Structure formats: structure tokens, C-alpha cells
Structure 1
Amino acid sequence: MIKYSLSLISFSFVLFLLMERLNLPLALAALSSLSFWTGLGILVFKKVGWGRGKVYYLTLVIYLLYHSFLYSFVLGILEPGGLKQASDQVIGAGFGFEVPTPPVYFPLWVSQAFAFWVIFKGYEAIVVPFTLFIGAVLGNLLGLNVRAIFKLYNVTETKAARSIITLPALGIVSGTSCCLALPSIVLYSVALSFPILSPSILALLSSSTYFSLVYYGLPIISSVALYLNLRVLSKATRACELGKSAFKSTLS
């Protein structure tokens, strides 16, 4: 399985190089990106696993749709003055492919090798491979965490124990799944409120470092936090189950 995933990732990079050197059709960017993210997905989801049940699937689907399609719409509305951006254009849609870059920028290129966008009332939603992939990862981890919280809640005996264990877990889940654009909104609001700080803040918001942190760094950090939280919940559930089994055996 690992060899297969690495083969897919290698094929993606080779195809990218051929596109750059031989000027192959840009539509091949979709194949290259699909191969890369499929290979990486095999590695990630083999490690994390998948869940089952209505609660899991509902959480996964809702978050994937939100992160991939609705996130940009919500961001446009939440930003200061966002409601004033509405236009008479009802709907528009399109897709495109990224021109191959120098090989050193392959990770950035493959994350947005092709895109699909929808414009509704002046608000734009752009879907690229990275948003789909990280949306699936976060949605899967959120679903697994919610399912684990329910399972742990059912095996604990007292209300106090349930509160001590589940409330912090719910806090982590809700915190990592919140709007990742919150730092941008706060900084943008400060810039509008204090003109003297506007040049520095706007320079930060437009910097490539800040973009990389918010767009790539925060979702990855959230994924790691959710994975670690899932491990803690799983260990706590097993400990409670073992404790209940030991208690029942002593009674018998």
C-alpha cells in the first residue's frame, strides 16, 4: 500500500516535470494533482482510519461541504463591509488549470493545480485540490472525534466524570473546526479601526508568510490537534471499559 501511494506521488511529479519541459496540455494538471493527493490520501487515511455510523457521516459531509464550498462565501460575508459586496450578478462558474512552475515550487503548484469557482451575488467560492483534501481530512477527524466523544460518554458512569472528560474534548473539536480566517478578520478590523496601524497590518495580511500560515499551516495544525485528541479519547474509552469489566468481575 505504501509503495502504491509513493508510486502515485512520483507519477504526479514526473508528469509535472514533463508538462514544464515539453509544454504538454494544461489539462494534465488535473491528472497530476489527482495522482498526488490520492497517493497522499492513502498514507493519511491508512494511519487515521475511517468511522461508521450516522453521527460520523453527518459530521464528515457537513464539514466537507462547508470547508470546500461554503467557507469562502462565509468569509466574504464576515469580513468588515462584506455585506456591502453583494452585486446583481446572480451566479457564475468556471474552472481552470495552473501553469507549471519551477520544480522547487511543486508542492505549492500541486495544491492548486486546477480550480473550480462559483460566484454568487458578488461572493466567490474557489475549490482547489488542497481545500478538498484538507476538508476531507478535517471532516474525517471531526467525525471520528464526535463519535469517540459519544462512545466515551456512554461508558462513563457519573455526570461529573462525563463533564470532566467530554467538555475539554468538545472544546478542542469545536476550536479546531472554527473559521480559520478569524485571525485575518480580527487584523482587518483592527486596521480599519486604527488607521495608524493600517500600513503594517495590511502588509502582514498581504505577505506570503501570513498566507502560508493561515491557508496551509492552520488546517494542518488543526488536523494534528484533532488526531492527538482522538488518541486521548480512545485511550480514555479503553481505560473506562477495562475498569468496568474489572469491577463486574469482582462482583461475580
Structure 2
Amino acid sequence: MKRAFVPVFLMKRLLKKLQSIQGALRFHELSFVVLIIMTALMSFNWALVWQKSSEESLRLSSINTHVQHLRGDLYRQLKEVFDVVFLNDELAVEQYYQFVDQINSYLTRLKALSSSPDEALLIVRIEYAYNKFYQETRRFLNNDKLSNDDKLWLDEQLEQQTFQQLEMVFSDIEHYLQQQQQQLTDSDERMFGKMLLSEALPIMLALVLLIISKWFVRRNMLAPLRNVTQGAKIISTGDFHHHIPLTGVDELQRLSQAINSMADE
């Protein structure tokens, strides 16, 4: 019972303070301060969420960019293998190993960008398929003479099987990135709708507060003040039996009581 009595007591004290002009003004000012703080906090929260979404979108785009660069360098590296085998291009060997360094750097960046087990697994699959390609192709660089079987293997086995495996992994990671980007887009659209509703809430509360304030001023200040001025005029004409109603804020009630007391005396 005591616990239930405390909130009721505090509510009565608050309502009593609102019956004064000073209390009403403080409540009005405090309400707008609370609205401003609430709006600022919600805006800050949405800014953080939006920033996180933008960072995730940038991360996915970076992964896609590195994958495409790796894919392009892989085909260029294969070209260097054919240049060595079929054209005896000595510079192709050096360029081949340059592509090895570049592709390994892309794999390192992709590992750093991955943030889920699925992404890590896809990158491991790319790395495994590339290592297989590397082991199968580097042996051709140091052989002066290749048999027809080696050339046939290079033309058929490497392109039809090893590269097919790489393309399957690239296709899987592209599909994964598209799926993640679509989920992020859908999430952003839902977030934008919620943001519009939440940003409209302080405006609605401000309008409600404005309506309540106008109603409070009319009921507790303007109407009682009009009664005081009209009652004072009536009393000034000599009608000392007229009593001004004790309504409105405390200050106006005390003024009405004082005028009534002077009229009685």
C-alpha cells in the first residue's frame, strides 16, 4: 500500500505545481527540452545504424572488387603460361611470378575483409583452387621441351577442369555477394521506413504539447483572467455582493480571493 501511495502522492504534488504560472512554464520548457533531447538521440542512433550499413556495403563492394581483380590476373597469368609454352617468351616467366605475388596479395586482403564463416570458406576455396592451378602450371616454366601429352594436358585438363573449378568458386562468391547486397538493400529500406516514423514521433508529440498548452492557457489563465477583469469592473460599480470565481492558476485564484475579500470588507 505504501509503495502504491508514493506515486499517487508525487502525482498530486506535480499537478499542484502545474497550477501555478511558474510551474506551468517550467513544465512547458522541460517538455520541449525532452523533445529536443529525444530527437537528437534518435537522430544519433539512426546515424550510427546508417553508418554501419554503409560500411557493410563498402566492405561487400571491396570484396567484389578484389575478387574481380584476382580473376582478371588469373586469366592473364594463364596467358603467360601459354606464352612460355607455345611462344618461348622468356619475359612471360617473370610476369607469371609477378601475377603470383599480386594474386596472393588479393587473397590476403580478402581474408582480412571476411567477417563470417561463409565468406572465409569461399575465400579458402578460391585459395585452394588457385594453389592447384599454381602447382599444375609452374612445372611448365622450367621445362625446355614439353611432350605432346603435356601440351594436350595444358590445353584440355587445365582449361576444362582446373579453370572450371575456379569459375565455380567465382560464381559461388558472386552469388553470395549479390545475396548479401540484396539483404542489405532490403534492410536499408525497412530501416528508412522506421526512421521516417520515429522522426515523425517528436513532431507529433510537439503538436500534442502545443495543443495541450493552448488548452491549458485558455482554461487556467485566459478565462480566469477575463473573469477577474469583468468581476473587478462589476465590483467597482458598487456591486460588492458579486464574487469572482476562484478558478485558474494559483496566482489568479489568490488575486480573485483578494478582490473578493476587499469587496466583502
Work out which structure has the larger RCO, using CA pairs closer than 8 Å and 6 or more positions apart in sequence: 2
Specify the structure having the higher radius of gyration (Cα). 2
The structure carrying a bigger strand percent of its residues is: 1
